[in-house]
Amino acid sequence: MDGDRQRYVVIRDDDLHAYTPIECLETLYRPFLDRLQVVNLSAIPCVDTTVKLKNGLCEEYLIFNPEKTLPLAPISANPTLVDYVLQNSGYQITQHGYTHLTHEFLSRNRRDLAGRLDRGLAELSKAGFKDVCTFIAPQERLSTEALKEVSKRFALISSHWYEWRQLPVAWLPWYVVKRWNNLAHWRAGKTLLVTHQRTLFARNVDYRAALPELKQRLSTHQVVVLPTHWWEFYERDTLRPNRPMIEAYHAVSAYLAERPDVKVIRFNALIDLI
């Protein structure tokens, strides 16, 4: 892509699962969808609703009425949500772990990992999400064995970074090339490894800094991945929207639409671009 002035932005939203309230997505993403800006939703194929944080509270993405939940909830258990996502073609699905256990893909058990990947893909396919070729690990952590199994099934992995000690030995020559050329995104065999900078939208991040920082990133990078979580925009338990933060996110959408040199694309498009 050297010399190409075109810029590419990938919107990534993690933790879609069977109990994600549709209104949370609709409030956040209607402006993006109306502008034909792709929103990559990282879907947990079969969410474990019993997962707890260290403080004993349920995971933040499990903000819903607990009485309605299954302990393990396949995404197809919510056909209304699935239909909503499928009917909005601007949403693109990526696979986000299988049940989203803490550090689920730091496991070193290849058989277990392979089972989670295959069952996850099957569950997404059953729900109607086909051609899923991007994988995102819970907490963005992958063991050597996980990298091997994921790369057999997915053309692209998105992660904050890749710990070189966890890379398969056969990947090290490619990693050296990446380091030598200071590449943000790189290939190991047929797998494209995409990285991103810190999130611009989270509860502990000043959303007022998001737009200036995005402009700066676009001045120095051809591909900018913007990860977030839909639940960060809502108060825990009450689901009350954080309006100023949502408006700042929508301002990003409006800004990107004003830039003729910027395309907001799906992850899969990077496979042919990089």
CB 153 within 8 A of CB 112: no
Please report how close the Cβ of residue 100 comes to Zn ion at its closest, in angstroms. 6
Stretch that binds Zn ion, among 7-15, 144-152, 235-243, 260-268 (CB under 5 A): 7-15
13 binds Zn ion (CB under 5 A): no
Please report how close the Cβ of residue 97 comes to Zn ion at its closest, in angstroms. 7
| Closer of 150 and 274 to Zn ion (Cβ) | 150
CB 68 within 8 A of CB 38: no
Please report how close the Cβ of residue 138 comes to Zn ion at its closest, in angstroms. 5
Q: What is the DSSP string of 139-188?
A: GG---HHHHHHHHHH-SEEE-S---GGGS-GGGHHHHHHHHHTT-SSEEE
* Matching residue, tokens 């699935």: 82
Please report how close the Cβ of residue 16 comes to Zn ion at its closest, in angstroms. 9
Instruction: Count interface residues toward Zn ion (CB under 5 A).
Output: 3
What's the rounded Cα separation, in Å, for the pair 195 and 270? Answer: 12
Range 137-196, binding Zn ion (CB under 5 A): 138
What's the rounded Cα separation, in Å, for the pair 177 and 207? Answer: 35
3-state DSSP assignment of residue 89: coil
48 binds Zn ion (CB under 5 A): no
14 binds Zn ion (CB under 5 A): yes
| Closer of 148 and 229 to Zn ion (Cβ) | 229
| Closer of 90 and 138 to Zn ion (Cβ) | 138
59 binds Zn ion (CB under 5 A): no
15 binds Zn ion (CB under 5 A): yes
| Closer of 97 and 274 to Zn ion (Cβ) | 97
What's the rounded Cα separation, in Å, for the pair 210 and 226? Answer: 10
Question: Phi/psi at 142 (nearest 5 deg)?
Answer: -135, 130
Please report how close the Cβ of residue 203 comes to Zn ion at its closest, in angstroms. 15
- Window 125-144: contact mask with Zn ion (x via CB under 5 A): -------------x------
**Residue 269: in which H helix or E strand, if any?**
helix 267-273
Residues engaged in binding Zn ion (CB under 5 A): 14-15, 138
